[in-house]
Structure 1
Amino acid sequence: MTQAWVDASSGASGDMLLGALVGAGVPVEVMQEAIDAVAPEPITLRVEEVRRGALAATRVHVDVAESHHHRTWRDVRAMLAGADLPLAVFERLAVAEGAVHGMPADDVHFHEVGALDAIADVVGVCAGFAHLGATGVTVSPVAVGSGTVQTAHGTLPVPPPAVAELLRGVPTYAGPAPMELCTPTGAALLTTLATAYGPQPAMTVDTIGVGAGGRDPEGHANVLRLFVGGFEAHSVRTSTTEGPLLLECNVDDLDPRVWPAVIAALLEVGASDAWLTPILMKKGRPAHTLSVLVDAARADDVRTTIFRQTSTIGLREQPLTKHALDREMVAVEVGGHPVAVKLARHHGVVVNAQPEYDDVARAASALQRPVADVLAEATSLARKFV
């Protein structure tokens, strides 16, 4: 099963990610074809081998004709209809820009993130990661830079407001140079693609791509590295009795349509799980109990999110003891598509083998088969590990 690790210790931009993908073996034709399918005007990718500091790197130039179109998120959404991953990236950009400028996301103009350049970066990078077929993308803490930057809105602090908004809840730090290191496009791509954040996970590295942007400052190699390989075959999480905190509150005056967004926000800031339980309160009022599991180190962020996102004015909190089985990730193939399988062991004996639903759904979509059929086949194949 393919795993990718993005080393963003010198920041991230769309062209750095394009270069890293080409360096890791993704044919530039794969990305060019995806761009040609949606681009409203001619866009050409051009590959150049460069040096950044002491490192050899790949730079992908995005050649476009001069364009005076400042497209809104509404325009881009119509242009990319059906391209789910690029749409998700642009939606993040639009929501972040709208939040910092105090305007509806649909009215945000993309001149600030490069217009045609941004379309090429986003569509090309998404096509490149799809070609890799990585089921997990781990992103290192992201270097954002420091100092100030000149924009269409004047001089802004680094990280610029849109980048800071996009990287809420993501591990970040200033990094090696007093300059803008992470662009809005880079931040939106990383946060959309990432399935986890942290140092390089246990993996057997097969290829390494080193991507360069246009800047070559003195003092550090301004590159983004992409490691691609397989999951470590016997990478196991040890069982533990150390437990999380349980935070709970009863809420009877929140529009129920808001709850999915609340739970998503809690998971984004570090909760390990969150769920709702319907209850009946005094005087017969229907309500919900919100329950959240979180490690003590992330509890303050979760408390803040609960108070900001719900109408509660108080929380109950208690430590829990947790017994977790040892876990191991393996994979099966259904119709040529990999499906991750989580094995759980008790005293070294496999007692559960469960296919990952997201992989099942992706395989079912690609194979044009019912999800239930693919799930049943993956479950049957997973039985060989028990």
Structure 2
Amino acid sequence: MAWVDVSAGVAGDMLLGALVDAGARPQVLQAAVDAVVPGAVELVRSEVVRCGMRACKMEPVVRTDDLPHRHWSEIRAMVADAALPEAVRAHALRVFRRLAEAEAGVHGIEVDRVHFHEVGALDSIADVVGACAALHDLAIDRVVASPIALGSGTVAGAHGTIPVPVPAVLAMTGGWQVLAGGSGELATPTGAAWTTALAQECTALPPMRLECVGVGAGTKDFHDRANVVRVVIGESDDDPSTAADVVVEANVDDLDPRVWPHVLRRVLESGADDAWLTPILMKKGRPAHTVHALAPARYADAVSSVLLTETSTIGLRRFAVHKTALPRTWVEVEVEGARVRIKIALDNDRISQATPEFEDVAAVARATGRPLRAVLSEAAAAAVAVGLVAGARLPDPGQAADGGGIR
């Protein structure tokens, strides 16, 4: 689990810095950002001091022309279409949806009409995606956070001078413990959205066996307080994340079938690890579907809420299950001059399965105009060429065979 100390404020780059300082690999974060906005943002790491405290500074440097704002629907499509691990995609969509819902409430408009201003810029997109990828890289399955320092005063926004805390931040921190913490904007919309969307509880530092601490720096260096976010990672004996996983399901016979892809996407965004449909025949021979969701127990209520609001069901079933999963990793090979990730499942130290990532293959097929099945076969052959076959050990990156390269 991870406890995020946001008692001095929180911003996207501060979260990035703290998670990298705690051990998240910058190259993994960069790959995730490149999957959403290819070649547009470079994550630059440096060591700085904030009020006498050493901290890691992660700066998203935009390398291309940028729009100052984007619609929620545009960002949603960018993340949904990117070749990301499903957990990273679900977390990023959850953060952006929280922002969109807050902005919609502030401006009195529908969620899909929300026009992100500064939050829609490339550097803010990189902050959110990178911080979500860092959680996945660190294998953190539970996040809790301290009370949030929001700040005070005023700040210049897209619509003029507005009070701090800005309206969207107040909307997202409803139900959380908050404090002013000082003057200026201490909690940005991006930082507040990430914290309140992904942290399951607002609490002081919980009992844990401490493993590591990461310190991430904000841009400003205040003379009276350290402008940092801290991430404390450890294990807790009573961590709810160790509870059994839960399957939530319902039988539905009267839903427009065009709605199902949206339902499954929302279920994954709410915290489920997997979601699927099973065609069934109900009483009187009516055709229907059972919608299933597999989720950690702590997300069962959120998943249930989505199914009850997004489908026509008026009841659900829940039951505990125990999930067994092989360790997984990714290896990149080159196909048609592009990178394609191979998902590797490991049994002890041997490869159990090696499968090309479908979204990567589809992107190559679109870019080259070649048949999807042909690119899929070529990706599988490239994996075999570099030794990614069942029963083999993972080859060293520098020992790739002819016909493909490991990256």
Q: TM-score, normalised by structure 1?
A: 0.59
Instruction: Sort the Cα spacing of 1:192 and 1:367 in 2 relative to 1 into closer, same or farther, 3 A.
Output: farther
- For residues 246-268 of structure 1, what are the alpha-carbon distances to aligned partners after superposition, in whole Å with 9 as ceiling and x for unaligned? xxxxxxxxxxxxxxxxxxxxxxx
Q: Do residues 7 (structure 1) and 5 (structure 2) align?
A: yes
Match of 1:84 in 2: 90
Tell me how far 1:38 sits from its aligned partner: 1.1
Tell me how far 1:98 sits from its aligned partner: 1.5
1:29 aligns with one of 24, 27, 30: 27
Match of 2:198 in 1: 193
Amino acid corresponding to residue 193 of structure 1 in structure 2: L
Amino acid corresponding to residue 203 of structure 2 in structure 1: G
User: For the residues of structure 1 that align with 2:226 and 2:323, how far apart are their CA atoms?
Assistant: 39
User: For the residues of structure 1 that align with 2:324 and 2:54, how far apart are their CA atoms?
Assistant: 36
> Does the CA-based 8 Å contact 2:118-2:124 persist in structure 1?
no
Once the two structures are superposed, the pairs formed by residues 160-179 of structure 1 within 5 Å of their partners are: 160-175=166-181, 177-179=182-184
Q: Do residues 206 (structure 1) and 211 (structure 2) align?
A: yes
Amino acid corresponding to residue 75 of structure 1 in structure 2: E
Instruction: Sort the Cα spacing of 1:174 and 1:60 in 2 relative to 1 into closer, same or farther, 3 A.
Output: same
Q: Number of matched residues? A: 244
Match of 1:38 in 2: 36
Instruction: Sort the Cα spacing of 1:49 and 1:110 in 2 relative to 1 into closer, same or farther, 3 A.
Output: same
User: For the residues of structure 2 that align with 1:19 and 1:91, how far apart are their CA atoms?
Assistant: 23
- For residues 68-105 of structure 1, what are the alpha-carbon distances to aligned partners after superposition, in whole Å with 9 as ceiling and x for unaligned? 36310011111111621111111111111121112222
2:143 aligns with one of 137, 145, 150: 137
Match of 1:284 in 2: none
Name the SS of the counterpart of 1:207 in structure 2: strand
User: For the residues of structure 1 that align with 2:180 and 2:354, how far apart are their CA atoms?
Assistant: 44
- For residues 168-219 of structure 1, what are the alpha-carbon distances to aligned partners after superposition, in whole Å with 9 as ceiling and x for unaligned? 11111111x2111000000110011102110111111111100012111221
Instruction: Sort the Cα spacing of 1:93 and 1:41 in 2 relative to 1 into closer, same or farther, 3 A.
Output: farther
2:16 aligns with one of 15, 18, 41: 18
Query: Cα RMSD (Å) of the superposition?
Result: 2.6
Instruction: Sort the Cα spacing of 1:154 and 1:202 in 2 relative to 1 into closer, same or farther, 3 A.
Output: same
User: For the residues of structure 1 that align with 2:25 and 2:171, how far apart are their CA atoms?
Assistant: 33
Identity, % of aligned positions: 47
> Does the CA-based 8 Å contact 1:94-1:105 persist in structure 2?
yes
User: For the residues of structure 2 that align with 1:182 and 1:8, how far apart are their CA atoms?
Assistant: 9
> Does the CA-based 8 Å contact 1:335-1:367 persist in structure 2?
no
User: For the residues of structure 2 that align with 1:66 and 1:7, how far apart are their CA atoms?
Assistant: 34
Name the SS of the counterpart of 1:113 in structure 2: helix
Instruction: Sort the Cα spacing of 1:70 and 1:147 in 2 relative to 1 into closer, same or farther, 3 A.
Output: closer
Name the SS of the counterpart of 2:30 in structure 1: helix
Once the two structures are superposed, the pairs formed by residues 25-174 of structure 1 within 5 Å of their partners are: 25-39=23-37, 42-64=40-62, 65-68=64-67, 70-81=69-80, 83-174=89-180
User: For the residues of structure 1 that align with 2:157 and 2:69, how far apart are their CA atoms?
Assistant: 15
Query: After the TM superposition, which of the residue ranges 47-56 and 106-115 deviates more from structure 2?
Result: 106-115
Tell me how far 1:130 sits from its aligned partner: 1.1
Tell me how far 1:145 sits from its aligned partner: 0.8
- For residues 205-249 of structure 1, what are the alpha-carbon distances to aligned partners after superposition, in whole Å with 9 as ceiling and x for unaligned? 1111000121112210000000011124x789xxxxxxxxxxxxx
Query: After the TM superposition, which of the residue ranges 132-141 and 219-228 deviates more from structure 2?
Result: 132-141
Tell me how far 1:40 sits from its aligned partner: 5.3
- For residues 296-343 of structure 1, what are the alpha-carbon distances to aligned partners after superposition, in whole Å with 9 as ceiling and x for unaligned? xxxxxxxxxxxxxxxxxxxxxxxxxxxxxxxxxxx9964349xxxxxx
Q: TM-score, normalised by structure 2?
A: 0.56
> Does the CA-based 8 Å contact 2:164-2:185 persist in structure 1?
yes
User: For the residues of structure 2 that align with 1:101 and 1:113, how far apart are their CA atoms?
Assistant: 15
